[in-house]
Amino acid sequence: MSDGFLSIENVAMYFGGLRALDDVSFEVERGAVLGLIGPNGSGKTTLMNVVSGVLKPTYGNVRFGGKRIADVPTYAVCRLGIARTFQVVKPFANLSVRENVAVGAMYGRNGGSRSARASFDHAQELLEIVGLARVADRFASELTVPDRKRLEVAKALALDPEVLLLDEVMAGLNATEVDEALELLRTINRRGTTLIVVEHLMKAIVSISTAIVVLAEGKKIAEGAPAEVLASPRVIEAYLGARYVKRQRQREAGA
């Protein structure tokens, strides 16, 4: 049942003749971890851009806590409580890791009422949560790939979001690093943040999602509980592929 927390309502996004999103609707419940999957070019990042106010949809609406936000600019959406990470991370390369996070803490939902000192304290606390306290004084440009992804998450968390949109934060991580990233996302979710996770690593999506939405060619083709969605022939054909199904069968046979 919908609790009216975050609603995507008949969203369409056209770029010239290209229908990047075509009449997409779904609900995200407070406290959920929604896995958003689909082939490359299916509209996942476009949808992230619409929800975070980077793009204004051609048609349709996004409602957050009952309030219509499709026309609200990005900076205001972030202050309403929706933050995001970017697929291609862009930290302030010449600021320290701590300063990068403090920028968000000063700017975000509670930024106006937070002193510089309190912002740096908050940044430090977040760096401890994401596991970057050890490199807090390094330049962001010196970080390894997994640490840059962690910084991207910490920067977004510094905005004190109710909803965090994560765009492929696990791409390029190995199995151990993915497990660590999943543990971090669970911690963030337990602290009360609703997550929308875009990811191609099915192991990660299956392990963390409470619900899954599948996009293909701009349309929603499936939605529901993970096990159900991933068994859908349509999702297998459009996204998972035959090799995934074969591996699953082998795992189940072996288990």
**Contacting residues toward other proteins, per CB under 8 A:** 37-41, 87, 144-146, 168, 171-179, 200, 202-203, 237-244, 247
Q: How far is the CB of 199 from other proteins (least distance, A)?
A: 10
The residue among 9 and 177 lying less far from other proteins, judged by its C-beta, is: 177
The residue among 26 and 239 lying less far from other proteins, judged by its C-beta, is: 239
Helix, strand, coil % (nearest 5) of the chain? 45, 25, 30
Q: Which residues of 184-194 are buried (b: 16+ CB within 10 A; e: fewer)?
A: bbeebbeeebb
Q: How far is the CB of 117 from other proteins (least distance, A)?
A: 35
Q: How far is the CB of 63 from other proteins (least distance, A)?
A: 29
Q: How far is the CB of 248 from other proteins (least distance, A)?
A: 11
Contact (Cβ atoms closer than 8 angstroms) between residue 221 and residue 200: no
Neighbours of 137 (CB within 10 A): 10
Amino acid at 58: T
Q: How far is the CB of 68 from other proteins (least distance, A)?
A: 31
- The arrangement of strands across the sheet holding 194-198 comes to 82-84, 163-167, 194-198, 33-37, 211-216, 219-224
Contact (Cβ atoms closer than 8 angstroms) between residue 182 and residue 35: no
The residue among 178 and 211 lying less far from other proteins, judged by its C-beta, is: 178
The residue among 80 and 202 lying less far from other proteins, judged by its C-beta, is: 202
The residue among 10 and 144 lying less far from other proteins, judged by its C-beta, is: 144
The residue among 91 and 146 lying less far from other proteins, judged by its C-beta, is: 146
Q: How far is the CB of 242 from other proteins (least distance, A)?
A: 6
Q: List the structure tokens of 223.
A: 């939605």
Nearest residue to 114 (alpha-carbon basis) of 54, 49, 159, 69: 159
The residue among 27 and 199 lying less far from other proteins, judged by its C-beta, is: 199
162 three-state secondary structure: coil
Contact (Cβ atoms closer than 8 angstroms) between residue 215 and residue 19: no
Q: How far is the CB of 179 from other proteins (least distance, A)?
A: 6
- Tell me how far apart the terminal alpha carbons of the chain are, to the nearest angstrom: 34
Give the C-alpha separation, 139 to 96, whole Å: 4
**DSSP, res 237:** I
